[in-house]
Amino acid sequence: MPIDAYSPCPGGTGKKIKFCCKDLLGDLQKIERMLEAEQYMACLAYVERLEQSNPDRACLLATKTLLLRLTGRVDEARLAAAAFLDKHPENPLALCDVALMAATKEGGKAALPILEKAIVASESAFSGRLYEAISVVVQALLSEGHFLAARALTLFQASVLGHKDPSVELLMRLNAAQGISLVVKDGRGLQQCPDDVPWKAEFDEAFRLASLARFSQAERTLAALSDAAAQSPTVWRNLAKIRSWMADNSGAIDALRRYAALDINRDDAVEAEALALFLAEDPLGDQIDVFDVIYPITDPGKLQARFGASYQVAETPVDPRTLEQEGSPPPKSVYLFFDKPAPKSGEPLDLKTIPRVVCHALFYGKETDRAARLECVDLAESDRPLIGELVREAGGEVGEEKVDVSGRISRTRDMLNREWRLSDGATREEFQKLADAYLEDVLLRSWPEMPLGLLDGKTPREAARDGAARRRVLAAILVIDFWLEQSGARFDTNRLRSELGLPTLDTIDASETPIAALPLVRLARVDAAKLADDELLTGYRRAVSFGAQAAVERFGREMIARETLAGREERLQAYRLLSRMTDDPEEALQMVESGRQAALQAGGSCADWDLWELPMRFERMEVEEIDRLIDHIHGRHGTEPGILQRLAHLLMQMGVLRPDGTLAFQPSAARSGSPIAVPGGEAEDSGRLWTPDGVSGGGGEKPKLWTPGMD
């Protein structure tokens, strides 16, 4: 609606125009029309003219900072926002603008204190400018890895604006994010204060402030209680949460460890220690530097020829054009280096002879102002001599190498994620035995003897015998659990706990604790068979919402075994999820068929299941089944809205169709022995790369967890 004298001042003063800037009413109406017409440059010029005769007016300063941002004049917008705040220190719009600009230049954590002032100054008026500032700060926090702070702000945004706001969708995506541990994502909020304590009023005030996103005020109030309530687990737990919402990781870690040291349940204490590790930059205290090493190449042709004939170098199928960076041509080739030659076809595989991938390398040709070069990425110090030797052997005279530290990695995590090169003809079964043996060797023999900074230089085996350090060893194993899940590897870490003489994670009887109140990380331990149908559905929905894969599998398998849940949408969804989570290709197809039959029995279409099955058949290169499915989808479902479009999109993803709709190749022409190698397929191609969780690389990997709307 057009603004009038009774509209709020657009400068954030909290007054109506009539009592604030009625002399500018006509100008403000003109400014509004220009903004609606997106005449930003003209509007900015008009505002700047008005400023000459009306300096320091909040309505003009607020509009000017907005227009400078809309026209891309970011540096000027930053100066204008600072000037606005200088003239009006308590103005909510000025605070919002400064917080937004701080987030884009200095980062989300730096912007948080200013944003909190903006929230306080806004009181009950949640303006569009505040919404924008929160959104920008949230994105900055996520890019910095401050997940808990970003989610807390998003939750506040959603609580104010309701379930239809986009912030709710973002909150759901954050909850389901696969790159975040369940220990971190735990959805339980602040704990309520006990009724029988003398400091209840102060505690409740901190609780109230936190609910209004006044996190620093809440933190100061709780911190002041920490002396009087030093033995209260509730105070320290809440203090840790609030500090994590402020992106104060060091403060949160301190509070978590104080909480874990109190007389509390062992699981609670270990999970608090684990959360402290996830918030730390070096969780296990075992990080090492990795390097980018650039070798200038004097004879590029010789190097490429030697690499092509080498048994320790392989060119990858990655399209180098996808690695092009702005202002620089793409690499000509992408190589992998191995620590030993590939085994010959038919040779038995064992951990001593299988080649390990040492590093990836990008080869660039000669440029006008730069010699040809080989850039080795994320190379460990211990592997640098080997790579230097291989490069010099292949390229002859090599210029002086340039070495830069590219980052740091955990030695433990690096050991879990080894890549190998298999011999021609090696089967998946052979690989799986090798992968199982590797993880067993690493986790039951090597890691227990590795000194860790987390344990003050002790090994896990030594620390496990120390009562004070046992909790940290157990927390470290929870971190390893997460890293294994991230890589897709399956290993029962209770075996590691037993090896170290530590208590194992046993099955939980949910009758003792409501499943809705269990920490997320414990859901997979619930004895699903003992749950009533409604509890089983509650646990399943919670597991799906938070991306708890192991719990999804446990609850899902129990649901599909219960005929009492036949026809439930969750049961149909479970068939689909389990078909992608199982390691057994035959079981995956059985799950799809069961889901298809359930959909037909419910009177629905089986088109979704046919489309879901097609990539599975393609991965296995089952040509007759591919042809049958495509014909079936055309004949049976061709008239259903959107099905043929989805089929075409799927075929383009699989490389059968080009983007222009023409055939890249006929599926029926692909037979065993085809040069097309598909991860998980039965055709065995030479020089494949495997990791302990499956085939490395390629675009055919199955998603870690399907969620509603993903397909």
The model's pLDDT over 522-578, given as tens digits with 9 standing for 90+, comes to: 999 999 999 999 999 999 999 999 999 999 999 999 999 999 998 899 999 999 999
Gyration radius (Cα) of the chain, Å: 30
DSSP 8-state class, residue 511:
T
Strand partners, 421: 689
Fold type of domain 289-414: TATA-Binding Protein (3.30.310)
Nearest to 585 by CA among 616, 611, 555: 616
pLDDT band for 124, please (50, 70, 90 cuts): low
The three-class DSSP label of residue 696 is coil
Output the pLDDT for position 368. 78
**For range 311-340, the mean pLDDT:** 84
Are 671 and 395 within 8 A, CB to CB? Answer: no
Whole-number Å distance between alpha carbons of 705 and 136 = 28
**HSE (side-chain half, CA atoms, 13 Å) at 436:** 7
CA 531 to chain centre: 31
Is the pLDDT at 680 greater than 60? The verdict is no
CB atoms within 10 A of CB 4: 12
Helices (H), 359-500: 384-395, 411-416, 428-441, 460-464, 470-487, 494-499
Q: Which CATH number describes the domain made up of 200-279? A: 1.25.40.10
Contact 188, 542 (CB under 8 A): no
Q: How confident is the model at residue 684 (pLDDT cuts 50, 70, 90)?
A: very low
For 465-480, the pLDDT digits (tens) are 988 799 999 999 999 9
Residue range 21-49: mean pLDDT, rounded: 93
pLDDT digits (tens, 9 = 90+) for 445-504: 999 999 999 999 999 999 999 887 999 999 999 999 999 998 888 899 999 999 999 999
The rounded distance, in Å, linking the Cα atoms of 387 and 191 is 54
Equal fold, 200-279 vs 289-414? no
Confidence of residue 396 (pLDDT cuts 50, 70, 90): low
For the chain, the structural domain boundaries read 200-279, 289-414, 428-499
Whether pLDDT at 91 is above 50: yes
- For the chain, give the percent of residues with pLDDT over 70: 92
Q: What percent of the chain shows pLDDT beyond 90?
A: 61
For residue 195, the model assigns a pLDDT of 87
Residue 236: pLDDT above 60? yes
Above 80 in pLDDT, residue 677? no
pLDDT in tens, 176-197: 998 899 999 987 889 998 888 9
Angstrom distance (rounded) from CA 67 to CA 45:
10
pLDDT of residue 665: 59
Model confidence band, residue 699 (pLDDT cutoffs 50, 70, 90): very low
Within 13 A of 191's CA, how many CA atoms are on the CB side?
15
In this predicted structure, the answer to whether residue 644 has a pLDDT above a threshold of 70 is yes
Residues in the chain: 711
Minimum mean pLDDT range among 240-254, 439-453, 641-655: 641-655
Q: Which residue has the tokens 């010699």?
A: 371
| For residue 251, pLDDT beyond 90 | yes
